[in-house]
A and B are shown apart, each in its own frame.
Chain A
Amino acid sequence: MNHELLKAAAESNQWLAIFPELLLGSLALLLLALEIILPKKQHTTIPAVAIIGQIGVLLYQLLHFNSVFVGHDTFAGLLHHSANGQFMRAFFLLASILVCVLGTIALAKQKMPRIEFFHIVIVVSAAMMLLAQSNNFILLFVALETVTVGFYILVSYFRTSPLSLEAGLKYLIMGALSSGLLLFGIVLLYGVAGNSTLPGSSADAMNFNALHTFLAANSHNFLAAVGIVLVLSGVAFKIGAVPFQIWIPDVYQGAPTPVTAFLAVASKAAGFSLLLILTQSVFTPYEYLTTPVLGLMAAATILFGNLAALTQHNVKRLIGLSGVSHAGYLLIGVVAAASQPLAIGAIGFYLFAYLLASFAVFGVMTHVAGADDADQELEHYADLAKTHPFLGAVLAIGLGSLAGIPPLAGFMGKLLIFIAAFKAGLHGLLLVAIVGVVISIYYYFGWIKAAFFETWRAPLLEGETDPRPVRTPVGVAAGVTLATVALATVVLGFYQGAFGDWLLSLKF
């Protein structure tokens, strides 16, 4: 490489463009340093530092939302900053803060090292933020692996629980397989795009722009098609789309509840932002291939997720499988986005509503769960509305929003996706989606039923203990967080204001 090129590359290193990520990295290191410096008694303040620090980063991100980098590439084309990317960065930060709040509740019930948990969560979040802005397969892969490796540890974090360890192993094997598929796809694309006998070939085919030029010039190349399908399969693992959903129920059940929430919301959202980047810019010449593949996946995912969730009694498995069906609705949005830019805003709104609703539900779950985190049955929710009306109300709002019931935000997300799908002419997928929504009513309302409706229980025999674990009293921080999340779900259902306006004008 000659001198000029290196210089140009160095000048494009705009560190300010990734300042939030840098801040997060420093915060993560600071947590570890604090653990060494502070006396043991004051270790309880470290989670607060983690949460407050991240709130600061989130504020920074929001204040610099329309930064000068939007619309430009930095770091020699490794990163591309877009409005959608800015939104996703804020999204991951918010998710990470909420995970940390849930973490403080769940970790209090275990004898586990605390600080590493927050450290890893923050590092993973920073990686996700980079992922949402990637413009190069190398950066994409490195960021994705950082996320995945972080999750290997987080999933098996409760190492005294066999189920948590099993989940970690399962996630490791499945994650390795999916990374392998992804890598194989990338290599195929790189290889075929580097073939100098083909028009539009490029020496730097890892770069999305160069790859796009090549794909546009060779829109029916068989090897490239195989590569694209493999890359999509790798991403489909992350979002849990059929047929790559097999790991979901076990991993969701075994993982600590805050990690399950992290997987369900942030990891899934990362997958979707990646999918949007790929289908909206790089793979556009292969729409004839990606559209049917993703469409078929969407239909199968919706049906499988909903049908499989019907029979679940463990709420973690239930929410995992219901999350599979949400991935299906979102996939409809991705398919629709090929012709309707409206769908991008719809996906953003859906993800945001899904975040709020999921954290409302997971927040209640951490309070209801006992010392055995994997053992969370529907029966444990009996009488919740009577003994803990606040938790009951938050649960009902969260589940209602997930089920897509007006006037909650989840309904608006579904509505926007449906409108986009209608405009894109996806009538078959819409039909499947309706069937899915109707099926989902059964298990979401079954859960509400368990918490609200009184049922007769046999009185406890002598020596028998109540199978329901003792519910954690709601602390101030957790109470405020849950109330905010639930209130935001209701308000966003009624009034979207400038947020809705901005999202709908979003183009890629």
Chain B
Amino acid sequence: MNTLPVDLLLLSIATPLAVALVIALGVPVRAAKGLAAAAFAVPALIALFLWSRFSSETLHHTYAFYKVYETGLQGVGIKLALGLNGISLPLFVLAGIVGLAAGLYAIQSNAERLKTYLVLLLVMQGGLMGVFASVDIFFFYFFHELALIPTFIMVGIWGGRDRSYAAMKMTIYLTLGAMLSLIGLIAIYYKSRAGSFDLISLREELLANGLKAGVQKNIFGLLMFGFGILVSLWPFHTWAPLGYGAAPSSAAMLHAGVLKKFGLYGLIQIALPLLPLGAADWARPLAILAVVGNILVVGFITIAQRDLKQMVGYSSVMHMGYAFLGIAAMSAAGVGGVVLMMVAHGFSVALLFLLSTSVYHRTQTFDMTEMGGLAQKAPVLAAFFVAATMASIGLPGFANFWGEVTIFVAAWKFSPVLTALAVSGVIISAVYGLRSAARVFFGEQTEALAKVVAEKPVTDLTCCEKLPALILIAALFFIGFWPKSISTPLNSALEVIYPAPTVQLAADAAK
């Protein structure tokens, strides 16, 4: 139950949206910058505060800070129910912090039509906080779409190469994914006969009377492909590198870092626990698609990239393969690993997008073959970039390591062969990660770069750029050295949502 005097969850959603409205109504640019900074800071601070409070809260069906509002559709079982459980808490924190970093980076970017840009980012931020704070699966979907639409406009207006094409392709793919998952969610709602979209009542109803295996199989298939498209499951991943390559940096940070996790979160929080038999049917195809498609095929494609931003985009598609593998393992451990990895990947990919744009501002190109030797001129930038790359590869000491290791351990029981293949993917990440760091920052300066540098001397990261980067890297280190801060609440939720008999049943069915 919610014991706080103010509903902070609602506040974290409403603040960015309200400020977006205020800025849209017309305030001077300077005031808009200050307002926006405050509006990005509020959700982040709320997230950190709730994180610290979580362990002392009494839980309502695994949810803390639970509160319900009626919005007029209670007739069909739709209510705005907010709350955080062990699975959503880490992602809520991720959304708050990456949002703050992306917001600060946007404020200092001096983009054209900055106010519109900030309005759209704030709408996106409000949606993101809502996605992970919703207990009602309808509003969970609703907030995702709310966050999705601004990306389309941001890519189209402030995007880079091929922005028009990229925006259209991204929107059509993501709408298809969203529509499939919407139908899947309505199917769960209807077939469960709970008469409500509330995840708690759905879970209770389905725990008492599980659905028939055939029905579960169909619904899980819908959700797997629907959510899968949103998370760039191979072969539906082509929108991702293209879109991220074209998107302005803050939009790419928020989308790749946070919004994309929506699909995985939906699979973990909704599909897998509610439809264990359906998941068991689909686990093997999902794992094969993830390992062969996302990890190996896309991994090799990533190695071949010359464009820095496209490379980061492809690498994020590749890392989603590990997450799918962890889900396919269908165990509490595997799912726990996925949550850890989602958080870690969110921070590291956002950091990489941020740094690539900072590199671009210094080199005027994303082509890695036309860079080199930047480390001498910009040592701090180089240090950040190498650290972010190491995190993304999964070096111990960074949060990503814990996620990937847990996934591999859990997946080994499921299929040693696929796990072995997936582990070899780490080598692929090391190849492209280290190669890109070497190409950009070390070695000799290329002639092309020398020309650019002659016109505009390279400076190191400015203070305004450092702040968001520092926030992200601090978060990575914090979770890397103290994963317990996430895993304790996570375990408490997983014990309830993934009871041993269900998992065992599903695991047996998988064999």
Contacts and interface: CB of A to CB of B under 8 A. Distances in A.
Interface of A: 342, 345, 393, 396, 400, 405-407, 411-412, 415-416, 418-419, 422-423, 430, 434, 437-438, 441-442, 445-446, 448-449, 452-455, 494-501, 504-505
Point out which of B71, B72, B156, B172 has the most chain A C-beta atoms below 10 A from its C-beta: B72
Interface string B33-73: 00000000000000000000000000000000000000111
Interface string B146-175: 100100110011000001100110011001
Contacts of A497: 71-72
B71 to A, nearest CB: 5
Given A423-B190, A434-B179, A441-B175, A501 B75 contact: yes
Given A407-B145, A418-B182, A449-B167, A438 B72 contact: no
Contacts of A419: 76, 186, 189-190
Contacts of B152: 445
Given A441-B175, A442-B168, A453-B164, A406 B142 contact: yes
A342 B73 CA distance: 11
Given A400-B149, A453-B156, A504 B71 contact: no
Given A418-B183, A453-B164, A437 B175 contact: yes
B375 interface: no
Main secondary structure of the interface of A (DSSP, over half): helix
B73 A407 contact: no
B462 interface: no
Contact of B172 (A345, A434, A442): A442
A500 B75 contact: yes
Nearest to A440: B175
B164 A501 contact: no
A310 to B, nearest CB: 12
Given A405-B149, A406-B142, A423-B190, A504 B73 contact: yes
Contact of B72 (A396, A437, A496): A496
A391 to B, nearest CB: 14
B157 A452 contact: yes
B179 A452 contact: no
Contacts, number: 92
19 contacts: A393-B24, A400-B149, A407-B145, A411-B145, A415-B138, A418-B186, A419-B76, A419-B186, A419-B189, A430-B183, A438-B176, A442-B172, A445-B152, A449-B168, A454-B157, A496-B72, A500-B72, A501-B74, A504-B75
B180 interface: yes
Given A452-B153, A453-B157, A494 B71 contact: yes
Contacts of A418: 182-183, 186
Contacts of A446: 168
Main secondary structure of the interface of B (DSSP, over half): helix
A455 B159 CA distance: 13
Given A407-B142, A438-B179, 13 more contacts: A342-B75, A393-B24, A405-B149, A406-B146, A418-B183, A419-B76, A422-B183, A430-B183, A449-B164, A454-B157, A496-B71, A501-B72, A504-B73
Nearest to A421: B186
B167 to A, nearest CB: 7
Interface residue tally of chain B, by bracket? Answer: 20 to 34
Nearest to A403: B175
Nearest to B113: A386
Contacts of A422: 183, 186-187, 190
A438 B142 contact: no
Contacts of A498: 72
B35 to A, nearest CB: 18
Given A445-B168, A495-B71, A438 B175 contact: yes
**Would you list the 4 A-B pairs with minimal beta carbon distance, nearest first?**
A496-B72, A504-B75, A500-B72, A406-B145
Contact of B145 (A405, A453, A455, A499): A405
Nearest to A499: B72
Nearest to A420: B76
Interface in B176-194: 176, 179-180, 182-183, 186-187, 189-190
Nearest to A490: B21
Contacts of A437: 175, 179
Nearest to A407: B146
A438 B172 contact: yes
Given A434-B180, A453-B163, A505-B75, A441 B171 contact: yes
A75 to B, nearest CB: 33
A124 B24 CA distance: 39
A218 B118 CA distance: 66
B22 to A, nearest CB: 15
Contacts of A454: 157
A479 to B, nearest CB: 14
A411 B139 CA distance: 12
Contact of A500 (B73, B182, B183): B73
Contacts of A407: 142, 145-146
Contacts of B153: 396, 448, 452
Contacts of A500: 71-73, 75
A452 B156 contact: yes
Nearest to A346: B76
A318 B202 CA distance: 41
B195 to A, nearest CB: 11
A352 B190 CA distance: 25
B304 to A, nearest CB: 30
Contacts of A496: 71-73
A504 B76 contact: yes
B171 A445 contact: yes
Contacts of A448: 153
Contacts of B175: 437-438, 441
Nearest to B174: A441
A443 B186 CA distance: 26
A76 to B, nearest CB: 36
A501 B78 CA distance: 11
A485 to B, nearest CB: 17
A157 to B, nearest CB: 37
